[in-house]
Structure 1
């Protein structure tokens, strides 16, 4: 059945991962520290945008693999939803999705670190995108717990027969 609570958790995890295309990973990172009017970087999943002075942002660098992996990672929770007849496989895929999201988070952080370089990223420069994978992991853990409760309920019902 698709109307279970874990389906909502998994759908929310997928939507949160697709939110990485909307929210930046790091914003307004100064290329030249100490210069207020200098170029500012905004790093997102799709690439790096630069804003020079008070002008609009322009795309300076495009990432090739990161958006593709983001789409694949965002589709994993959707796939898990439709495996509702096989709860053991859902549990295994939840474990796998958590591991994939942890690796993906590390890859995102390393990408931001590589772009920023020697500049220290402050809290005010961190974008919402850096925290979305953590939120997605939490939602998958909630779905995992709900799937385990369903499995326990089915086993107890089988014992009663």
Structure 2
């Protein structure tokens, strides 16, 4: 049924992952003194209090959009709980791949700069990925609870 608790968890995971397009996952100041932000859509620098896009990463943007919208697709697999669980596990793997891709992208952006990736440089966007995994684990728990409920109802018949 679509009105179950796992629908809320999956929808929340999709909203959190769509936050990657709003929040940068890396903030730093380059050697010239310009503030730069790295987002899934590209690298932005702050010039005269305006955000200017220096470079774009189209493949990362497309992959992040797919990862963000995949939980919405999973919601509509409510009739097949096993497939829904399998898709959620695949989504967790896709989030891990996205995190690795974002980390390597951040390292490539920082390669020309003498400072390394420090904890104070990490933006809000990078912390959205673990939150999405936690929400997906809550959805897994809800699906398993539904499976137990249906199995117990079948035993009573």
* TM-score bracket for the superposition, by shorter chain length: over 0.9
Quote the residue 2:54 is aligned against. Answer: 60
- SS where residue 24 of structure 1 aligns? coil
Q: Which of 34, 43, 46 is equivalent to 2:41?
A: 46
* Distance in 1, Cα, partners of 2:84 & 2:34: 47
Q: Is 1:95 matched with 2:89?
A: yes
Quote the residue 1:153 is aligned against. Answer: 149
> When the two structures are superposed, what TM-score results if normalisation uses the length of structure 1?
0.91
- SS where residue 52 of structure 2 aligns? strand
* Distance in 1, Cα, partners of 2:93 & 2:56: 26
Task: Provide runs of 4+ in structure 1 moved above 4 Å.
Answer: none
* Distance in 1, Cα, partners of 2:6 & 2:49: 45
Q: Is 1:23 matched with 2:17?
A: no
Deviation digits for residues 127-149 of structure 1 (CA, Å, limit 9, x no counterpart): 10001111111110110111011
Unpaired segments ≥5 residues, structure 1: none
Query: For this pair of structures, how many residues does the alignment match?
Result: 155
Cα RMSD, aligned residues only:
1.3
Unpaired segments ≥5 residues, structure 2: none
